[in-house]
Structure 1
Amino acid sequence: MASERSQMVRDHWRSMTEAAVANPGQTPEEVRERVERFWPALTAEPGGVDYLEVEVAGRPALWAVPKGAAEDQVVFSVHGGGGVSGSIYTHRKMFAHLAKAVGARALLVGYRQEAYPVPLEDTTTAYRWLLDQGTNAGHIAVVGDSIGGGLSVSTLLRARELGLPIPAALMLISPFVDMTVSNDTFATNSTNEAFFYKEVVSFLASAYLAGADPKEPLASPLYADLSGLPPTYVQVGEHETLLGESLEFEQNAREAGVDVRLDVFPEQQHTFQMAAGYSPESDDALRRLAEWVRPKIGLG
């Protein structure tokens, strides 16, 4: 049974649903303001982490540096938010918890929340920037949640096209990788889901695509050739509507020869890891990610 603490994530998403029902004419700016105001409170401060604001190829970024962290290993972090909200600031604590557990620095990259392919151009440029700083690709792990998970996959696919070295590992948290919004779990999990109903995700996908083909591989990496991706770890909640595409992605990656692991967390909602420091399920999930990735980036 899910812990009482983990219910805070469900409560957050339910409050978003209630606000949408009560205010059907909300502008994107109003939705973004609500997320920016309430989302950070889901995550406890990790403690022992310093934050340094920097500019990466003209875009805002944030280093999260745990005390005693390795200098050479980096967790390249891509935040979610459906392409309409979220930022390096809403996600700084979650990614800092992960960085602290790994014992490495995290680089949180900002990207323009505009239609595809603009966000992908920004994340790919940021990844190239990190390599240009002299960081060994074998010491980089990429992580992303929700649409940031899809962007993380697409960034590596684009890096492959450009001939850039591929990082040592990829970690995906409730990844949004299918812009067709056609998986069966949008129906089968509709009574379990607290916010990401098919209508909501269809709206987000339409805004992100802005007319592009929903099966365009770099927009919907579920339909991409996944061969050559590094070892990949996918985490998803049992009760979220995006469960099905995580299951499909794991299968496609395995068939493409990728070393892939998938964990489905009972009774959990979309990006439940945001409750790190409060929820035992969130802390357990980040611990699993850290233990899995440490040897892959040379931390034993």
Structure 2
Amino acid sequence: MVSTKAQLYVAYLRATGQKRFYDDARTLHRRLHRHQKPSMAKPPRGIRRRCDVERREVEGFACWTLRPRDGRVDGPHVLHLHGGGYVEEIESHHWRFAAELVTRLGCAVTLPIYPLVPRHDHTDTLPMVQAAYDLVADDRERHVLSGDSAGAALALAIAQRLRDEGRAQPDRLVLISPWLDVGLEDPISLVLDEHDPMLGITGLREAGRMYADGADPHDPRISPLYADLTGLGPFSLFIGTRDLLLPDARRFAAQARDAGADVDFHEYRGMFHNWVMQNIPEGRETLNHLERILRREIPVHRLGNG
């Protein structure tokens, strides 16, 4: 049963017109400046009070790492790639999510401020996030690759490149409300569009078109739904039934299992896009599960309780 708090949040999304940005291509272009403010790309003051914060530059773009304030990192290093349709800058809920992982796991979390469309496309974005991952992989023996929405597709592009280069996969890939096909070709997505309080197909397709910038939208680096998933994983995937990305997430999970991957798939009834990062009971429940998954992969001698 959907919690009252979640129902109220959906009502808030509808009342404040959160979906309008993705309603159509014209609206998306007209409002882009509101979603790409430079101030969004810096950790909020509350995050700086809560975590130790380090800024590095990767391929000319900022890359922020959050660590426990006492300096002790007991968990893995998590690279999290924020969502936003390749057109939106990192938002407050991404910073809170990263800080929550730091607090719960005693880990480090790195957040690349990767290049956005329309100024850039996948030919700029993919090399930057790959370079950011290489920094994380060099920093610590154990690392987790995580992403939400468009960030999940970026994470999967990195995983494919690691496999193709003969390199080890991350300890786990965490995919939250993943956007797996920039063309959104599954007809069920059209039906779900009416019930999704946050995303819209027309605007998303326009964002995906700009990100591909003339390349084949079925290129697996751009739309990982069409990737060969052999040798990838293990995965934890979280998706809600009010998210128009649901049918592609189901298809991806089935394909990953068929390819022999370890898939931890969770479909949450009544949940909307990126509910995991919101202060609702379902969000905390999912974070609890994610914490258990990642803790199981932390060697006992590295846990704070010794």
TM-score past 0.5 threshold: yes
**Residue 61 (structure 2) aligns with:** 59
CA distance in 2, matches of 1:72, 1:283: 20
- Alpha-carbon distance between aligned partners in 2 of 1:66 and 1:253, rounded to the nearest angstrom: 34
The reply to whether residue 289 of structure 1 matches residue 290 of structure 2 is yes
How far residue 274 of structure 1 moved from its aligned partner, in angstroms, is: 2.4
Tell me, yes or no, if structure 1 residue 160 matches structure 2 residue 163: yes
CA offsets 1:90-149 (integer angstroms, 9 cap, x no match): 62112221332233111111211121232111111111122334x22xx10111000000
Q: TM-score, normalised by structure 2?
A: 0.84
Aligned-partner Cα distance in 1 for 2:61–2:145? 18
Among residues 190, 194, 202, which one is paired with 1:191 in the alignment? 194
User: Of the candidates 194, 205, 209, which is equivalent to residue 208 of structure 2?
Assistant: 205
Report the counterpart of residue 2 of structure 1 in structure 2. 2
Match of residue 262, structure 2, among 252, 259, 263 = 259
1:127 to 108, 128, 133: 133
Where in structure 2 are the equivalents of 1:52-201 lying within 5 Å?
52-67=54-69, 70-71=73-74, 73-87=76-90, 91-113=94-116, 114-133=120-139, 135-136=140-141, 139-201=142-204
Contact 2:136 2:143 in 1 (8 A): no
Native 8 Å contact 1:49 1:67 kept in 2 = yes
**Does the 8 Å CA contact 2:22/2:203 hold for their aligned counterparts?**
no
State the 1:264 CA deviation: 0.9
Number of residue equivalences = 292
In the aligned structure 2, how far is the partner of 1:165 from the partner of 1:24? 39
Q: 1:24 to 1:230 in 2, by over 3 A?
A: closer
The 1:213–1:282 alpha-carbon spacing in structure 2 relative to 1, beyond 3 Å, is same
Tell me the secondary structure at the aligned position of residue 91 of structure 1: helix
8 Å contact 1:175–1:242 — kept in the other structure? Answer: yes
Amino acid of the residue matched to residue 60 of structure 1? Answer: A
Is there any run of 5+ residues in structure 1 with no aligned partner, and where? none
Say what the alpha-carbon RMSD is for the aligned residues.
3.0
Q: Provide TM-score, normalisation by structure 1.
A: 0.86
Does the alignment pair 1:31 with 2:32? Answer: yes
Report if aligned partners of 2:82, 2:147 keep a CA contact under 8 Å in 1: yes
Distance apart, 1:67 and its partner CA: 4.5
Using the TM superposition, give the Cα deviation of residue 25 of structure 1 relative to its aligned residue in structure 2, in angstroms.
4.8
AA aligned to 1:282 is: G
Taking the aligned partners of 2:247 and 2:33, their CA distance within structure 1 comes to: 27
Letter in 1 for 2:121: A
Q: Contact 1:147–1:176 at 8 Å: present in 2 too?
A: yes
Question: 1:36 & 1:269 partners in 2: Cα distance?
Answer: 25
Amino acid at match of 1:176: W
Aligned with 2:76: secondary structure?
Answer: strand
Which residue of 2 is the match for residue 221 of structure 1? Answer: 224
